[in-house]
Amino acid sequence: MSSNRIHSDAPLQNQTESSTSNLFRRYQLLIEYKNLRSSNSCPTGVYVIPDIDNLYLWHGTIFLHRGHYKEGVFKFYIEIPDSYPEQIPIVRFITDMFHPLIDRDGYFNLGQQFIRWRPYKDFICHILHYIKNSFRESTMCSLEGKFKNEKQYFSKLAAQCAQLSSSEPILFDKDSNHLMTFTPIDDSQFAHIQSLLYESVGHKAQPVTET
């Protein structure tokens, strides 16, 4: 009778342990997201936010201000496996991309940097930094393909890719499920936002005068 009792309690115990493990993983992930606000944790120009209904899906956008992809605005998802950090997340761009590390379906090749994923040593912040660095010329020089062999052709296509990403039909597209959406603003709205920014840092906005 005792052995039967132990046997019947085992599934309940396993379920409890699994629930505790899942809660712990979620808590770890929330801490990791919060730590992105710390200095140097999240690279400049990169923004991420968890999905409203799914903590394991992050919405991201990267703004580029120099290089072959100058003025590009690229949206992506980070799909985090339930077993994270044991397994590496998946990065998928939803903005059409021409990049040696991004395939036709938008999947970003993390294996170039993370040849072997190291749980509790490699984190999402490291992935974000690699995404940012992947648009640098120094990183692309280490890759095989059109960048090294046909640099002029590559540069032209990359510039077209960046220009298209920041065009109004793409930038202000509301059809996707991505949480980061953009809306055009007029001069008065811009002035109001600018004044709020100045107030937040303790300065008064200076009126613009014509000369």
Most confident of the following: 22-26, 101-105, 138-142, 171-175: 101-105
Round to whole Å and give the CA distance between 71 and 66.
7
Number of domains in the chain: 1
Tell whether 126 is covered by a domain. yes
- pLDDT of 18: 62
Q: What is the largest CA-CA distance in the chain?
A: 95
146 within domain boundaries: yes
Query: Is 63 a domain residue?
Result: yes
28 within some domain: no
Task: Report if residue 119 sits inside a domain.
Answer: yes
The CATH number of residue 151's host domain is 3.10.110.10
Q: How are strands ordered across the β-sheet holding 46-50?
A: 46-50, 57-63, 73-79, 90-93
Determine, yes or no, domain membership for 7. Answer: no
Nearest-angstrom CA–CA distance, 96 and 105: 9
* Average pLDDT for the chain: 85
Exposure string of 70-107, with b = 16+ CB inside 10 Å and e = fewer, is: eebbbbbbbebeeebbeebbebebbbebbbbbbeeebe
Q: What is the pLDDT of residues 119-172, one digit of tens each?
A: 999 999 999 999 999 999 888 887 766 566 678 888 999 999 999 999 988 888
Q: Answer whether residue 197 shows pLDDT above 90.
A: no
- The model's pTM: 0.81
Residue 211 lies inside a defined structural domain of this protein: no
Q: Looking at residue 53, what is its pLDDT?
A: 94
Residue-level pLDDT at 211: 39
- 207 pLDDT above the threshold of 60: no
Q: How far apart are CA 136 and CA 61, in angstroms?
A: 17
Parent domain of 67: 40-200
Q: Work out the pLDDT band at 16, boundaries 50, 70, 90.
A: low
Residue 24 included in any domain: no
